[in-house]
């Protein structure tokens, strides 16, 4: 073999080595991007689970404690009525934090690297009854001559540590007071 052939083999092997190195670098970069995407999805899921967990906790507490349920809904309705009397507008939507208002409710905590220390908030607000429908469900079991109904909405919002992800969930609750009297 001549010296010319040995030099061309070296150049070809260097080209092949560069192609393999570039391919490996692209594969590593794609893997890093995929790891970041999966991590972001995990953070989003943690925040979503904390939101639903807090909402489920509140709902369970209200479902299992009718006195607390009544107090929570009455406070929301009272705040709503007071805002209507003071402003005369229907656009006022007063909300309050049930964990701060009632000692019987302790806010659940979540050990997560994604959620701020105080990143979970719950708010309760009154939902007005339909116009002209003070008493309804006449003849339904337990309602006698009709039931008065109180409606409320419970909203839970969770925010990530870096304020990039926010999740909010809301449910409506209704309390029936048989015989057309609010209890």
Q: Which pLDDT does position 16 carry in this prediction?
A: 94
- In Å, what is the CA distance from 24 to each residue of 8, 21, 38? 24, 5, 21
Q: Which pLDDT does position 48 carry in this prediction?
A: 92
Task: Report the alpha-carbon angle 46-47-51, nearest 5.
Answer: 115
Nearest C-alpha neighbor of 51 from the set 133, 108, 117? 108
- Which residue did the predictor score with more confidence, 98 or 135? 98
- DSSP letters, 69-106, are HHHHHHHHHHHHHHHHHHH--S----EE-HHHH-TT--
pLDDT(183) > 90: no
Question: CB–CB of 70/171 below 8 Å?
Answer: no
CA distance 30 to 118: 35
Question: Which residue is it, tokens 């429908």?
Answer: 133
User: Which H or E run includes 28?
Assistant: helix 3-64
Q: Which pLDDT does position 64 carry in this prediction?
A: 87
Q: Which pLDDT does position 156 carry in this prediction?
A: 94
Kindly state the tokens that stand for 77.
Answer: 């309705």
pLDDT(95) > 60: yes
Q: What is the pLDDT of residues 14-39, one digit of tens each?
A: 999 999 999 999 999 888 889 989 98
Q: Which pLDDT does position 138 carry in this prediction?
A: 54
Q: What is the pLDDT of residues 139-159, one digit of tens each?
A: 555 565 666 677 889 999 999
Q: Which pLDDT does position 136 carry in this prediction?
A: 55
- Which residue did the predictor score with more confidence, 109 or 21? 21
Query: Is the pTM above the cut of 0.85?
Result: no
CA distance 128 to 133: 10
- DSSP class of residue 140? S
């Amino acid at each position: 073999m001549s010296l010319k052939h040995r030099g061309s083999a070296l150049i070809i092997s260097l080209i092949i080595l560069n192609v393999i190195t570039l391919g490996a670098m692209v594969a590593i970069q794609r893997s890093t991007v995929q790891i970041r995407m999966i991590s972001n999805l995990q953070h989003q899921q943690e925040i979503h689970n904390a939101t639903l967990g807090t909402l489920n906790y509140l709902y369970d507490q209200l479902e299992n404690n009718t006195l607390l349920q009544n107090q929570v809904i009455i406070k929301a309705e009272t705040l709503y009525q007071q805002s209507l009397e003071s402003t005369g507008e229907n656009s006022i939507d007063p909300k309050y934090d049930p964990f701060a208002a009632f000692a019987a409710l302790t806010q659940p905590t979540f050990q997560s690297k994604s959620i701020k220390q105080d990143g979970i908030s719950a708010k309760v607000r009154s939902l007005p009854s339909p116009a002209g429908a003070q008493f309804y469900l006449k003849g339904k079991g337990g309602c006698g001559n009709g039931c008065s109904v109180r409606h409320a909405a419970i909203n839970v919002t969770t925010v990530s540590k870096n304020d990039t992800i926010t999740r909010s969930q809301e449910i409506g609750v209704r309390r029936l007071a048989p015989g057309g009297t609010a209890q």
